[in-house]
Each structure stands twice: as structure tokens, then as C-alpha cells.
Amino acid sequence: MKLLAPRPHGYIDYLAVIALALAPTLFGFAGVPATICYVLAVVQLTMSLLTAYPLGLLKLIPFPIHGGVELLTAMFLIAAPWIFGFNTVNAARNFFVVSAIGLLLVYLMTNYRAGDESRPGKNLRTHQSV
């Protein structure tokens, strides 16, 4: 069952930006995992501002595409500690794994089709000449 509508999903997205930006400082890790967090914070902020949902600014990215990117991001987060060799840095590894699980849960609980009405022109009716 899809419990999350586009608006609450958007709030979670912006909270994720803050969490990604603050995680290295809060949990005391640096280097590659910190850089990945900062890059993902910028990517998440940009994607949120460009998504066609109530909290999007420009509404260029369809909400279902936004969901697909989040699913790919969750897979990246779970693998990143091993791909980039920081799996022995407990704080960073744990943050990435927990973030991946959280993002996957948000993905599974979100109704991505509900965002379609936020796209510009989606509700415009076309008139046909007879």
C-alpha cells in the first residue's frame, strides 16, 4: 500500500538534504564518505527543486522518474561503503546502510503516480474541433 503522497514525500526529501549535509559532522567521518554525502545532498536538493510535485520549484522531472532515481540512489548507498573502501569506517558505513534502508522504505511507501497532477499542463484540457 502506498501511504506517502507527494507533499509529505517532498518534506522527507528536503529533510534528507539536511541529513546528508550534516551527517559527516554529526557522525564524525571525513574523506570519501563525506564527499559522497555532500554530492548527494546537492543532487537531492536539485532533484527536489526540479520535481513535479507540490514542493518542487520548476516541476521539470516527473514524480515517477524522481522515484526511479531514488531507487537507484538507495542501491548506490548500500554498495558505496564497499565500492569506495570505507566499509571499515563504522560511522560512515552505518550511516550509508541506514540511509539506504530508509530511502528504500520511502520509495516503497510513496504513491509516485499521485504526483502527475503537479506537472504543468497535465490538467489542461485540449479542445478538439469537430
Is residue 120 in a domain? no
Is residue 107 in a domain? yes
Number of structural domains (the chain) is: 1
d(CA 80, CA 59): 29
Contacts of 118 (CB under 8 A, 6+ apart): 6, 52, 53, 54, 56, 59, 63
Q: Is the pLDDT of residue 118 over 90?
A: no
Mean pLDDT confidence for 100-118: 87
Is residue 102 in a domain? yes
DSSP state of 4: B
d(CA 56, CA 109): 19
Q: Is the pLDDT of residue 125 over 60?
A: no
d(CA 85, CA 43): 22
Is residue 32 in a domain? yes
56-98, pLDDT tens digit by residue? 999 999 999 999 999 999 999 999 999 999 999 999 999 999 9
Is residue 11 in a domain? yes
For residue 114, the model assigns a pLDDT of 83
Residue ranges making up the domain that contains 22: 6-115
* Model confidence pTM above 0.85: yes
Q: What integer best gives the mean pLDDT of the chain?
A: 91
